[in-house]
Amino acid sequence: MILGVDVASMILGGVAAGMVLFIVSVGLSVTMGLMGFVNLAHGAFAMLGGYIIVLSMNYWGVHFLPALALGFVVTAAVSFAFERLLYARLYRATELDQVLFTIGLVFMAIASVTLVVGPENQQLVLPAMLQGQVDLGFTQYRTYSIFLIAIGIIIVVGLWLGFERTRIGAQIRATVDNRRMTESLGINVDRLFTITFAFGSGMAALGGGLGAEFLGLDPQYALKYLVYFLIVVAVGGLGRVTGVFYAALLIGVLDFALKKYIPKGGTLFIFGLTILLLLWRPQGLFAGRAT
């Protein structure tokens, strides 16, 4: 029984972490799927959002939820400007140029944040309501983790509906599947990309804020977790909302469990597993599905 509770709490913790991974990575998956743009600066947008959210709470006393909204809006706006002014010039460039460009952005983001805010970790102080534990009947569990899971579910359902039921969702799906055909139907793929890019960065910002409590928030954030975001996207498949969701949960739970049971070799295992998964399915584990 003890073991069962242990496993349940481990899974809850992993799922909560997986939700954050999902919220950050989903935008990356969709933009990469749409344009084939290798955007290594996605983590930098998550970091930007995280800083806006945490700093606005710590310095201006903004409440958690409005701060999240603020982080989303500002980051989406900033990324919109970046996309129009810079990214758009590189759509037809080689992957290498895209990699260099976005690594350059990451370096600049890290350095700018270090200069402006400082190199130290920024503490996210949760509102009292989200602190402490809740009674789930079979076990006590951290309120914030449950909150994260709830938010994650709301978002994935929302995104799924958006993908399945809206015009723009249908256009995104069609473009991911066959860009040329969509273009020949007269759909403005560039505009579609601008919108999804801004939206995806906004989501990353949300994830940056939501995850700051346990991922921390310092200038290295932009690089530190990038490999994880990329793994989630690569395993989940490009342009696949549900694929990324499953992959994020998988990686989240695995990471959580491995850190607990084999604190030393955990990362090794994740990298090894990713290699095997990608060899088995280069297009991602969940790429076969429609969304």
Partner 1 sequence: MIVAAIKPTEHLAALAFAGRHRPRVWEPAPWIFAIAFYFAFPNYLGFGTELLVTILFALSLDLVLGYAGIITLGHAAFFGAGAYTVGMLAYHGIWNEPISSLMLAAIVAALVGLGSGLVLLRTQGLTLLMLTLCTMALLEEAANLGHEYTGGFDGLASLPIPPLLGLFEFNPLYPRTQYLYVLIVLFIAFLFVRTLIYSPFGQSLAGIRENTLRMHAVGSPVRARLITCYTISAAIAGIAGGLWAQANAYVNLTTLSLDRAAMVLIALILGGYGRIYGGFVGAVAYMALAHFLAKLYPTGWQLGLGLLLVVIALFARNGILGIGEALLRRIRAKHMPQ
- Is residue 235 a contact partner of residue 251, using CB atoms and an 8 Å limit? yes
If one asks whether residue 283 binds partner 1 (CB under 8 A), the answer comes out as yes
Q: In the window 233-252, what residues touch partner 1 (CB under 8 A)?
A: 233-234, 238
Report the C-alpha gap between 249 and 256 in whole angstroms: 10
SS3 237: coil
> In the chain, where does DSSP find H-type helix?
2-35, 42-60, 64-85, 95-116, 143-165, 167-177, 179-184, 189-215, 221-224, 226-236, 241-261, 266-280
| Residue closer to partner 1, measured from CB, 72 or 286 | 286
DSSP class of 124: P
> Kind and range of the H or E element at 184?
helix 179-184
Which class for 100: exposed (0-12), middle (13-18), buried (19 or more C-beta within 10 A)?
A: middle
Beta strands in the chain (DSSP E): 133-135, 140-142
- C-beta closer to partner 1: residue 72 or 101: 101
- Of residues 84-143, which lie at the interface with partner 1 (CB under 8 A)? 86, 89-90, 93, 95-101, 103-112, 114-115
Is 285 a binding residue for partner 1 by CB under 8 A? The answer is no
| CA–CA distance, 194 with 62 (Å, rounded to integer) | 29
Computed on alpha carbons and rounded to an integer, the radius of gyration of the chain in Å comes to 19
Q: Terminal CA-to-CA distance of the chain, rounded, Å?
A: 38
Compute how many residues bind partner 1; rule: CB under 8 A: 45
Return the number of the residue (195 or 278) whose C-beta is nearest partner 1. Answer: 278
Closer CB to partner 1, residue 47 or residue 238?
238
Binding mask 30-69 for partner 1 (x = CB under 8 A): --x---x-x-------------------------------
CB 252, min distance to partner 1, A: 18
CB of 278 to partner 1, least distance (A): 5
Q: How many CB atoms lie within 10 A of CB 159?
A: 23
By CB under 8 A, tell whether 178 contacts partner 1.
Answer: no
Q: From the CB of 184, what's the least distance to partner 1, in Å?
A: 21
Residue from the set 181, 271, 288, 289 that interacts with partner 1 by CB under 8 A:
271
Q: Choose which of 67, 210, 230, 251 interacts with partner 1 (CB under 8 A).
A: 230
| d(C-alpha 60, C-alpha 35), whole Å | 38
67 versus 235: smaller Cβ distance to partner 1 = 235
In whole angstroms, the minimum distance from the beta carbon of 271 to partner 1 comes to 4
Q: What is the 3-state secondary structure (H, E, C) of 8-24?
A: HHHHHHHHHHHHHHHHH
The binding site for partner 1 (CB under 8 A) comprises 32, 36, 38, 86, 89-90, 93, 95-101, 103-112, 114-115, 223, 227, 230-231, 233-234, 238, 264-265, 267-268, 271-272, 274-275, 278-279, 282-283
